[in-house]
Every structure is written in structure tokens, then in C-alpha cells.
């Protein structure tokens, strides 16, 4: 049985392969769109297939339903196999080079027998590429640069890293005298977990000096494009940034357009057309040219013109947000100011950098009313995990601190207890029973097969002392893949046992992934946004967690840490 993510990967690959065969671009788009739809589907895939409801999902026609059904059942698809066999596998890498699309790759393939990167490099170096019709000296050099930097260029950047680069640029833009308004857009604004490139948008009637400022920004390694309204630069680390300057009247159309996603934009434009309006980053145009097309002085007005409520950028993934907006059913997303405290944090007792007191003081400074401390348990000896004795001592310390009245913030005693091989926990029920809360986490045996890993975690979920499961899939963005685990089953088990799933807010983790939360919430699973802070500053990770929770359509009600201390204590004492 093939995973949803893997099936969507096959559909994406089919789309690229079809590009290389020169297929109808709209057919290609149907496959890409199918992959995106599948990725964000909240319903159970097997259920959809069984009941035939998959065909009711917009964008899923007979052919896609057939292929997805086959892939789910057999894990292979003859159509895909055949297609793959007809194209040199190396071309899938070649087409990733910036500036090379299907047409150019086909030309290289048919005329210069380019079947992989190595051959491409050699025909560039020999000058044969420049001699091809439609190619030239510059294209050849760009390809060579693309080959040289292809790993850096392909890399997506963790949101927090991208934001760190984007912030001072945006501030700088806002300070320029010619700039009326400026925002960052793209996947950064949509709060994706990783960001491919930065998009800056400026409203101004004088683009020229703004462009100059931008392409001369410190750290810019090369200028990849520079026109009247758009410039692109690349930084040392491979991150690309685009700047677009538009007249202030068009700013909100452009902001909407470059916030995307592609699927969201396509749907918006189709909606506009059905209302007699052609929509672009420059605004609306009346199709019949008889009526006057509306302008917009805010993003709200862009949506309003199409009969929609404003859709938060986090939701603009083309996953049904437009339908919900039309029906006025958009969720009221959780906000940072709703957060009243956090769970799952570490101190110097295990692998944290700051003491209990320092952490409490920092939590108080955040304006929170409670702070959960959950140091590691004894099996995590690499993290100086606490044994029963040291844990008892820590509980005592926490009690004393709470009684001392030194802080308004209430410290909750907890443990991030290791889930052992068969799902048993690192502490006995007696020990766990003395704590205010318990986070159960997997820290070893990442290579267990899916069934065993799932069973192991569900066993922990069923333990009455376990309040929440930490970083469910163990992924580290750009560094370590999630381990094999049946998330759908875990969600059902968490719902059945009234166990919380953590949204680990560490920017490397952001685990559980945003794509699962809508479904988890629908099933009644409660979320806890946990910074997993190992020092005082990392308590601020909570903001990353809130961002991902919003992306996962979560409301205040679906997140435990929006509740008051008495409500939280009541919930933790529920069983």
C-alpha cells in the first residue's frame, strides 16, 4: 500500500515526464494539481476510494481516480513505469536547472544527446550548446552556473532562516522615501515550513531608486534579473529574492497575486472569470469592457469583489479555502496573543541551558501564566535524562518555587518520558502519577517498521498518565526524514484516548506537520503548541507553533495552551 505523499510524488513525476515528452500543458497541469490536491486532502483516502467520493473532489477526474486507486493498491502504475522507461532518468535532474524548461531540455536531448547532467556539462564546455538554435553564449554560461550551484539552488530554506534574511530587507524597503507600502509575500507569508525564495512587494510611483537599493543590498551575490518592475537577486547561501514594484493602486492585487499559492491563484482567477472579470497582479479587467472593473484599497476588497471574505495567507493553498470563505465558514485562527502558557520545556537538569528559575522568569516576561517543565527521562542518557530520584527532587524544587511567590507564572512539573521499544514508558505509573503532566516521546529506534512504530506509540497514547505525544514523526527539516508511522491511525487513537498531539514549535521540527491538523481537529484531537525550549530565548519558538497551527486551520478552542491555568489544570486532571 502506497502512502498519500508517495502517490502525490508519483503524480508530480508523471507531470515532469509528460513535460519532457512535449505533452499538452493542460494535461500536465492536471497531474500537478492532482498531486497538490491529494497532499492536502483531509479525508481518509481509502474511504474516499471505497465510496467513490474521490471523483467528487474538484480536479479529480476519472483518469486521476483510476491512477490513484491503482497506486494505493499496487504501489506501482504501469502508465508511470512505461513513461519512465521512455525518458532518460537523468533528464529529471536536467530540467531542474534554472532556465531550462521542457522545450530546451528536449532540444538538448534530441540534438546533442544530453541524457544527464554530466553530458550537459561537457556539451556546454565544448561550446556545442551555444551553437544550437534558440541557445547562445549567455544561456550556455547560465547552464554551467546552474550545474555548479544546483544543490544550493534546489535547497529550500527553513522558514525561520528565510524570515531572518527577509526582515531587515523589508524594514530597509519601508524606510526608503519612494516607498508607499511594502510587504513580503510568497511562501514566507503563507507560513510554509520551508521557503524556496523571498518575494518582496512595494507600492511606489518611482521604482528605479528602489530597484537600485535592492540589487545593491549587502550580501547579494548576483543579480539574476533586473527590469522596470521586477528584479531578482541571489544571496551567498543560494536563497533567491524577487522584488516587484507596482503603482500603489495596484499594490493589493499584486500582494494577493504574489502571496499565492499557484493553486489558490488559479482558482481565484477562474472565479473572477465566471463573474466577467479577468484578474491579474495588476487588478481586474472587465471581460466585456462594458462594466467598470473594481479597484481595491486593501486585500479585503480584492476578495470582496469576488464575493469572498478575506482569506488569511496561511490558508491560501487551494485546499478548499475559497469555498469555505464563500460560505462564511472560515475558521477564526488561533493567534499568538491567545497563548497563555506552554508545556514541554527543558532546564539544566537535563539538556537545557537555563535553570528552572531562569526559565520561569523568561516565561513571566512572555506574559504567560503557566510554564511546563519536562526534562528528559533516564533512558535519554545522551541528554542527561533524569532518573526517579532526580525527578522527585525536581518536583520538590518546583513546588518550593511555586510556593515562594517569586513569580506569578505557575510552573507545572512534567517529564518528557521516553517511549521504549514496545511502547512501555521509561517511568512507572506511580512516578508518572506524581507529575502535573506527561509528554511521551520517541527518541530512538527510528528505523522500526511502520506497523511496529505505530503500535509502539499507540500503546503510549493508551497509558492514562500520558497527556500528550511529543514531536510525533521525529522529522528535522532538510536534515532527517520523519520515521515511518501511520499518522492517521495515531490521530484516531489520540481522539479515542483523549490524548493531545503536540505541535512541536522548534523551527527544525514543526512536527506534527500542518497538513494533518485540519483532520486531527475534525476528529476531535486537541493540540498543544510546545516550544520544546532548551533555553530562555527558545520559549519564543511558540510563535512558530502558532503560525503552523494557523496553517493547519486550528482555532483557539482546538489548542490547549489558549486556556486559563484553572482550565488547564482541570484538563490535565481529567482521567
Partner DNA sequence: GCCGTTTTCGGCCCGACTGTTTTCAGTCG
Residue appearing with cell numbers 506501482? 76
Footprint of DNA on residues 443-482 (CB under 7 A)? none
User: 7 or 412, CB closer to DNA?
Assistant: 7
Measured from the CB of residue 516, what is the shortest distance to DNA in angstroms?
Answer: 24
Pattern 516-545, binding to DNA, x per CB under 7 A? Answer: ------------------------------
User: 159-175 vs 542-551: helix axis angle to the nearest 10?
Assistant: 90
CB neighbour list of residue 120: distance below 8 Å, 6 or more residues apart: 94, 97, 108, 114, 143, 147
Q: Does 351 bind DNA (CB under 7 A)?
A: no
**Residue from 40, 69, 111, 142 binding DNA (CB under 7 A):** 142
C-alpha distances out from residue 243 to 153, 166, 170, 225, 554, Å: 18, 11, 10, 10, 32
User: 202 or 469, CB closer to DNA?
Assistant: 202
How many CA atoms, within 13 angstroms, populate the side-chain half-sphere of residue 116?
Answer: 4
Helix (H) or strand (E) holding 411: strand 410-418
Encode burial over 172-187: b for 16+ CB neighbours within 10 A, e otherwise.
bbeeeeebeebbbbbb
CB atoms within 10 A of CB 505: 28
Q: Does 104 bind DNA (CB under 7 A)?
A: yes
SS3 157: strand
Single out the segment in contact with DNA by CB under 7 A; choices: 276-284, 358-366, 491-499, 503-511. Answer: 276-284
Measured from the CB of residue 104, what is the shortest distance to DNA in angstroms?
Answer: 3
- Phi-psi bin for 75: left (phi > 0), alpha (psi -120 to 50), beta? left
- Phi-psi bin for 187: left (phi > 0), alpha (psi -120 to 50), beta? alpha
User: 135 or 303, CB closer to DNA?
Assistant: 135
Footprint of DNA on residues 184-243 (CB under 7 A)? 186, 196-197, 199, 225-230, 240, 242
Measured from the CB of residue 112, what is the shortest distance to DNA in angstroms?
Answer: 14
Single out the segment in contact with DNA by CB under 7 A; choices: 39-47, 136-144, 316-324, 349-357. Answer: 136-144
Strand 230-235 with 220-226, pairing? antiparallel
Q: Does 135 bind DNA (CB under 7 A)?
A: yes
Footprint of DNA on residues 26-85 (CB under 7 A)? 26-27, 29-31, 34, 58-65
User: 217 or 282, CB closer to DNA?
Assistant: 282
Of 375, 470, 464, residue with least CA distance to 428: 464
Single out the segment in contact with DNA by CB under 7 A; choices: 80-88, 130-138, 158-166, 316-324. Answer: 130-138
φ, ψ of residue 392 to 5 degrees: the values are -60, -40
**Residue from 140, 504, 536, 558 binding DNA (CB under 7 A):** 140
Number of chain residues interacting with DNA (CB under 7 A): 61
User: 255 or 339, CB closer to DNA?
Assistant: 255
**Residue from 10, 17, 35, 100 binding DNA (CB under 7 A):** 100
Contact residues for DNA, defined by CB under 7 A:
24, 26-27, 29-31, 34, 58-65, 97-105, 130, 133-140, 142, 186, 196-197, 199, 225-230, 240, 242, 258, 260, 262, 265-266, 269-270, 273-274, 278-282, 285
Amino acid at each position: 500500500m502506497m502512502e498519500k505523499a508517495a502517490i502525490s510524488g508519483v503524480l508530480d513525476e508523471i507531470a515532469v515526464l509528460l513535460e519532457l515528452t512535449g505533452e499538452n500543458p493542460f494535461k500536465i497541469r492536471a497531474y500537478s494539481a492532482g498531486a497538490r490536491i491529494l497532499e492536502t486532502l483531509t479525508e481518509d483516502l481509502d474511504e474516499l476510494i471505497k465510496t467513490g467520493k474521490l471523483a467528487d473532489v474538484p480536479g479529480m477526474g476519472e483518469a486521476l481516480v483510476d491512477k490513484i486507486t491503482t497506486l494505493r493498491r499496487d504501489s506501482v502504475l504501469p502508465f508511470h513505469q512505461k513513461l519512465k522507461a521512455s525518458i532518460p532518468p537523468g533528464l529529471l535532474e536536467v530540467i531542474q536547472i534554472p532556465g531550462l524548461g521542457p522545450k530546451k531540455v528536449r532540444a538538448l536531448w534530441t540534438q546533442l544527446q544530453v541524457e544527464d547532467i554530466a553530458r550537459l556539462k561537457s556539451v556546454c564546455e565544448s561550446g556545442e550548446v551555444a551553437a544550437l538554435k534558440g541557445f547562445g553564449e549567455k544561456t550556455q554560461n547560465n547552464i554551467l552556473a546552474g550545474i555548479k550551484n544546483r544543490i544550493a539552488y534546489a535547497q529550500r530554506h527553513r522558514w525561520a532562516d528565510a524570515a531572518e534574511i527577509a526582515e531587515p530587507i523589508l524594514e530597509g524597503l519601508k524606510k526608503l522615501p519612494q516607498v508607499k507600502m511594502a510587504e513580503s509575500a510568497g511562501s514566507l507569508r503563507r507560513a510554509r515550513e520551508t521557503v524556496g525564495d523571498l518575494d518582496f512587494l512595494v507600492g511606489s510611483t518611482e521604482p528605479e531608486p528602489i530597484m537600485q537599493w535592492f540589487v545593491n543590498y549587502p550580501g547579494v551575490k548576483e543579480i539574476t534579473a533586473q527590469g522596470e518592475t521586477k528584479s531578482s537577486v541571489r544571496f551567498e547561501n543560494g536563497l533567491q529574492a524577487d522584488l516587484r514594484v507596482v503603482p500603489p493602486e495596484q499594490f493589493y492585487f499584486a500582494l494577493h497575486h504574489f502571496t499565492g499559492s499557484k493553486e489558490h491563484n488559479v482558482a481565484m482567477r477562474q472565479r473572477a472569470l465566471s463573474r466577467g472579470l479577468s484578474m491579474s497582479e495588476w487588478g481586474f479587467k472587465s471581460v466585456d469592457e462594458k462594466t467598470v472593473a473594481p479597484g481595491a484599497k486593501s486585500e479585503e476588497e480584492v476578495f470582496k469583489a469576488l464575493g469572498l471574505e478575506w482569506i488569511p495567507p496561511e490558508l491560501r493553498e487551494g485546499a478548499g479555502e475559497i469555498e469555505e470563505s464563500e460560505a462564511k465558514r472560515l475558521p477564526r485562527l488561533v493567534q499568538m496573543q491567545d497563548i497563555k502558557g506552554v508545556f514541554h520545556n527543558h532546564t539544566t537538569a537535563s539538556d537545557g541551558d537555563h535553570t528552572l528559575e531562569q526559565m520561569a522568569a523568561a516565561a513571566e516576561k512572555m506574559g504567560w501564566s503557566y510554564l511546563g517543565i519536562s526534562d528528559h527521562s533516564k533512558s535519554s542518557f545522551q541528554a542527561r535524562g533524569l532518573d526517579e530520584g532526580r525527578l522527585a527532587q525536581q518536583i520538590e524544587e518546583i513546588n518550593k518555587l511555586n510556593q515562594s511567590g517569586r513569580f506569578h507564572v505557575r510552573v507545572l512539573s512534567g517529564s518528557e518520558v521516553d517511549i521504549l521499544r514496545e511502547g512501555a514508558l521509561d517511568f512507572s505509573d506511580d512516578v508518572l502519577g506524581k507529575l502535573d503532566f506527561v509528554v511521551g516521546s520517541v527518541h530512538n529506534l527510528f528505523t522500526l517498521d511502520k506497523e511496529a512504530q505505530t503500535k509502539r506509540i499507540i500503546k503510549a497514547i493508551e497509558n492514562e498518565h500520558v497527556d500528550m505525544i511529543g514531536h510525533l514523526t521525529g522529522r528535522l527539516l532538510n536534515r532527517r526524514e520523519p520515521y515511518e508511522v501511520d499518522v492517521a491511525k495515531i490521530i484516531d487513537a489520540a481522539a479515542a484516548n483523549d490524548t493531545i498531539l503536540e505541535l512541536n514549535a522548534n523551527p527544525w521540527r514543526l512536527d506534527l506537520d500542518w497538513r494533518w491538523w485540519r483532520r486531527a481537529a475534525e476528529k476531535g484531537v486537541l493540540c498543544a503548541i510546545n516550544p520544546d525550549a532548551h533555553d530562555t530565548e527558545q520559549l519564543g519558538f511558540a510563535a512558530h507553533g502558532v503560525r503552523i497551527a494557523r496553517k493547519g486551520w486550528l482555532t483557539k478552542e482546538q489548542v490547549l495552551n489558549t486556556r486559563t491555568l484553572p482550565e488547564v489544570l482541570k484538563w490535565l486532571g481529567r482521567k
